[in-house]
Amino acid sequence: MVDFPQCWKCGATLEAVPLPLSRYAECPACGVELHVCRMCRHYDPAVARACREPVAEEVHEKTRANFCGYLEPRTDAYRPGDASGAARARAALDALFGNAPAGAEEASGDDPRADAEALFRPGADDRD
């Protein structure tokens, strides 16, 4: 079984794209440029310049087409984003500002908006 490179952005197989990748190669599925650092087996964000090839010139935009002659497409270029971190951040903001999803207020028994309105209602300072 032959492993084909996959698009770094959408994960589509690049079986129909001729190798070596042209400077103008694009993903047939999403249209993103393919001759980019993120497609290369030398790409590693954990090292200096994010490239393990010691003699390659530095490329600043890792997701834009470049003229690097050391590009070797890899079969595992696609890295899906971690949506769980974004979901946790959104939930924390919603909880902070009282924008809980529908039904969440009834489940918790708290209504931050009603509490704030009651606090600033005329005569609210007469409470004991």
**Residues listed for the chain:** 128
For the chain, how many structural domains are there in total?
Answer: 2
> What's the rounded Cα separation, in Å, for the pair 97 and 44?
38
Would you state the pLDDT for residue 4? 83
Q: What is the pLDDT of residues 83-127, one digit of tens each?
A: 667 778 888 888 888 775 554 444 444 777 887 777 787 765 555
**CB neighbours (10 Å) of residue 67?**
9
Would you state the pLDDT for residue 1? 44
User: Do the beta carbons of residue 77 and residue 44 sit within 8 Å?
Assistant: no
Residue listed under structure tokens 């980019």: 36
* Same domain for 90 and 37: no
Domain membership flag for residue 127:
no
Q: What residue numbers bound the domain in which 100 lies?
A: 83-122
Domain membership flag for residue 128:
no
Structure-block tokens of residue 39: 């497609």
Please identify, among 80, 95, 114, the residue that sits at the C-terminal boundary of a domain: 80
Output the CA torsion 27→5→37→83 (10° steps): 80
**CB neighbours (10 Å) of residue 12?**
17
> What's the rounded Cα separation, in Å, for the pair 33 and 83?
24
* Same domain for 40 and 22: yes
* Same domain for 69 and 9: yes
DSSP state of 72: -
Would you state the pLDDT for residue 36? 93
- Is the model more confident about 76 or about 123? 76
* Same domain for 76 and 91: no
Q: What is the pLDDT of residues 22-60, one digit of tens each?
A: 899 999 989 999 999 999 999 998 998 999 999 999 999
Q: Is the pTM of this model over 0.85?
A: no
* Same domain for 75 and 90: no
pLDDT tier for residue 82 given thresholds of 50, 70 and 90: low
Residue listed under structure tokens 């979901």: 87
